[in-house]
Amino acid sequence: MTRFSLQFMDCCCLESALCSRTCGEMPIPFPVEADCQRISIVDSCNGLVCLATDQHVILWNPATRESKMVPHVATEVEPKPYYHEIGFGFGESCGDYKVVKLIEGRGDASNKRVRRIIVSVYSLKTDSWKTIENIEGRLMSPQGKFVDGKLYWPMVYTCGRREWKQYSGKVVVGVICLDVKTETYEK
């Protein structure tokens, strides 16, 4: 098992923020053999932390030191996706933690300039993924922000024409909002 640690800094004063001394360290039991160099903290809700590597998403409870590797989502994206974004939140009304993965890839063979975003939602309760309706557009931020039971991502999309070449249609900057309870989104 690969061992990682989370380092804490004492940020009580400007002096400690400017120096790089480590004030505390907590080992993280990591459930995968990772040859990755980077682990990012996606978000946290109610003490549960969502971590991501290039290959894996992990839910970690630092209080109990337990962790769960989220199963891979099976998505068919050809050609290979440009990138994926992850969000994490808790639906209070449904009592479930959700991981949302947005995979941005090119459109179909008839118009490869169109960007489409495949939206998949993981439920901790059911330990399964569900792919919901695709979105056409481009994401502008690497992580969704969780507020009041919904995840938000800024995005760019066109109205009218469906080509991205030089943004030839009317360009709209907006926000996509995904309700984690209903697993539906709106622009």
27 token code pair: 């080992």
In the predicted structure, residue 17 carries a pLDDT above the cut 70: no
Mean pLDDT, residues 29-41 taken together? 65
In the predicted structure, residue 3 carries a pLDDT above the cut 60: no
Q: 183: closest CA among 101, 73, 66?
A: 101
* Greater model confidence, 176 or 136: 176
**Cα–Cα distances in Å, from 63 out to 82, 88, 127, 165, 181?**
36, 19, 22, 49, 26
In the predicted structure, residue 9 carries a pLDDT above the cut 50: no
113-168 residue pLDDT tens? 556 778 889 999 999 999 887 777 777 766 778 888 888 888 776 654 444 444 45
Q: What is the DSSP string of 88-124?
A: EEEETTTTEEEEEEEEEEE--TT-TTSEEEEEEEEET
Torsion of CA 143, 52, 98, 89, to 10 degrees: -50
* Greater model confidence, 30 or 67: 67
Residues 6+ positions from 74 with CB-CB distance below 8 Å: 129
Question: What pLDDT is stored for residue 148 in this prediction?
Answer: 85
**How confident is the prediction for the chain on average, in pLDDT?**
73
Q: How far is it, in rounded angstroms, from Cα 157 to Cα 185?
A: 15
41-93 residue pLDDT tens? 888 889 999 988 877 889 988 888 888 999 988 766 655 656 678 889 898 88
Confidence grade of residue 8 (pLDDT, cut at 50, 70, 90): very low
In the predicted structure, residue 22 carries a pLDDT above the cut 70: no
Question: What pLDDT is stored for residue 97 in this prediction?
Answer: 93
Question: What pLDDT is stored for residue 113 in this prediction?
Answer: 56
